[in-house]
A and B are shown apart, each in its own frame.
Chain A
Amino acid sequence: MKPILFLLLGSAGIFASEALTGAVEKQALNMSAIIMFLIFVGATLGITYWAAKRTKTAKDFYTAGGGITGFQNGMAIAGDYMSAASFLGISALVYGKGYDGLIYSIGFLVGWPIILFMVAEQLRNLGKYTFADVASYRLRQTPIRTLAAFGSILTVILYLIAQMVGAGKLIQLLFGLDYEIAVVLVGVLMILYVTFGGMLATTWVQIIKAFLLLSGATFMAIAVMAHYNFNFETLFATAVQMKDVSIMAPGKLVSDPISAISLGIALMFGTAGLPHILMRFFTVSDAKEARKSVFYATGFIGYFYILTFIIGFGAIVMVFQNPQYLDLAKQAVDGGSPILGGDNMAAIHLSHAVGGDFFLGFISAVAFATILAVVSGLTLAGASAISHDIYASVLRKGKADGMMEMKVSKVATVILGIVAIYLGIAFEAQNIAFMVGLAFAIAASANFPILFLSMYWSKLTTRGALLGGSLGLLTAAVLVVLGPTVWVDFLGHAEAIFPYKYPALFSVSAAFIGIWFFSITDKSDTAAKEREAFEAQYIRAQTGIGAEGAVEH
């Protein structure tokens, strides 16, 4: 009885490695991994206790009091981005397809410089707790907040389902726990971190996990390279002998120009529209720290992707065809050289190959910790959209009491946690590979265009943002449903109605054109006032004068 974890990369496309999916069978209890994980949980609950004592106001809860440094925030952002699925998924992709894994990771990195050049400082200067603060800065609160909160919550939930299902399967595989227990455990711990420790605890859990993950991955990459005297040519030559020469060149990941451009847009603008990432910019004191965060985050993420590339090749030479990791039962049926647990386990087996049982336990515990940290960040972002945007700004018209607002966000956290547990269990047997792609498509097509134009385009009006943003959101959702990932892979139809896997090129264009058209044709008095208000907003965005929590000079 061997565990099987399929990575559905075929037609599910690039985002599939962000969502671990497929059937899995429970592994025997892994004691060293469980002990190390318990140490991590103990330490992070200690941090949560410490953070809880420092989390007194809504500002503390949402933004850790605005006192996180650029370096710490860079680490936390990198932590948000380096999910367990991306660690295991990218190394599995490199392990399976070689060079295509590098193409994949590059796409996820290049959004960061754009975020720095275009939105990071402006976001810090204009916003308080959520990106909707910025989007609705000079527009009508109720419609724009509602739309932005809707976009945020949708993005968060889609992402959360993918993480929860991945978590359940991974933990089942690594620790030998039941799927339901694993999902409930993740949900409960995340609720504890977020409700008691707020952003401060979430940030430190993220920093610790990012540090552990980077250290573990560095050790693995160095151990692999040491076998080959730090000579890449020797490593690659050995890998090519094991597989074939095709792993050194681009394969089928990016095939036609439309898909290539559309994917690039989804990754770049999607990253710049993810609410849990955008929220991180409010945890630093000013624009200077905000920009330093992106610099460090880009460095850590880029470094991490180079490591996963080496780890993937390391797995080819040390795990592939290694009888120790061979899935004999599966080989008897399908032939080839399948490894235990499927390709997603390549990095995990490699950790055993280079560091024995102890290091295998360490990497397994880090993978679990990674899931916990990522779901905590997501849940906090979702809860903020509910409490700050919907409750405080829309329902109470900005007159909510800070303590009450914080209470609402804690209740929202618990509810989101329960919803995540429920959906995690409900989607266990589903192919959820499309969900991360859909989350990115919505972030790129609804959140980002509104945010970007509100910062830079003086003629933007509420009507334009509302109609154009909704158009982008709907187009993205409809095209994903009609495209190959849902229509064929999820719903089982023979042929997709919309031929492309990544709709961003079309849905982002629809959003920008929609916003432009419905803004310029808006002749109302409020529209005129909104245009007039741009100047003051622009000055604050550029200089930080009047910014929330900014350091006064």
Chain B
Amino acid sequence: MKQEMVDRIKNDPDFIQLVTVRTKFAWTLTIVMLVIYFGFVLTIAFDPSILGTPLSAGSVTTVGIPVGVTVIISAFLLTGIYVRRANGEFDELTRRIKAKAKGE
């Protein structure tokens, strides 16, 4: 890539927007995932009995079962949330940046 093109894209408001918005979004989702997972694992490390509590009096199923399944589903949902926004908003910005980089 030529330096002139680098400078042009670097200062393109669409590029700046893409990078700031996507970086923030990606980090937010990463932190959400880390908090969910380490919250789960550290609960087990510090006080496993929380997850061993029965869901309701007399039931065998413990709180840990829905919590564990929720962690799995949340990982899938978070990827879905990211892909949905990236395929729409971010790809549109990228398309505009590319068109300008080629056209002008």
Binding site for B on A (CB under 8 A): 99, 102-103, 105-107, 109-110, 112-114, 116-118, 121, 232-233, 236-237, 240, 245, 248-251, 253-257, 259-261, 263-264, 268, 288, 291-292, 294-295, 298-299, 302, 305-306, 535-536, 539-540, 542-546, 553
Contacts and interface: CB of A to CB of B under 8 A. Distances in A.
Contacts of A260: 38, 41-42, 44-45
B62 A248 contact: yes
Given A110-B75, A117-B27, A236-B60, 16 more contacts: A103-B41, A113-B29, A116-B82, A117-B30, A121-B86, A236-B61, A237-B60, A248-B64, A259-B45, A268-B37, A299-B76, A535-B6, A539-B9, A542-B94, A545-B98, A545-B101
B32 to A, nearest CB: 9
Given A232-B61, A542-B15, A110 B6 contact: no
Nearest to B95: A553
B83 A116 contact: yes
Interface residues of B, number: 55
B9 A545 contact: yes
Interface string B57-86: 001111011001101110110111011001
Given A255-B45, A292-B83, A298 B75 contact: yes
Contact of A539 (B6, B34, B41, B79): B6
Nearest to B59: A233
Contact of B75 (A112, A121, A233, A546): A112
B60 A240 contact: yes
A295 B99 contact: no
Contacts of B73: 302
Contact of B33 (A114, A233, A540): A114
Contacts of A112: 75, 79
A118 B30 contact: yes
Given A103-B68, A291-B83, A302 B38 contact: no
Nearest to B71: A106
Q: Determine the main DSSP class of A at the interface with B.
A: helix
Contact of A288 (B18, B27, B87): B87
Contacts of A536: 1, 3, 6
Contacts, number: 164
B75 to A, nearest CB: 5
Contacts of B82: 113, 116-117, 291, 295
A121 B79 CA distance: 13
Contacts of B10: 535, 539
A110 B30 CA distance: 10
A110 B70 CA distance: 12
B6 A544 contact: no
Contact of A257 (B18, B26, B42, B65): B42
A553 B86 CA distance: 17
Contacts of B29: 113, 117
Contact of B79 (A113, A255, A263, A543): A113
A259 to B, nearest CB: 7
B15 to A, nearest CB: 7
Contact of A113 (B33, B42, B59): B33
Contact of A110 (B22, B33, B46, B49): B33
A255 B65 CA distance: 19
Interface string B5-20: 0100110000100110
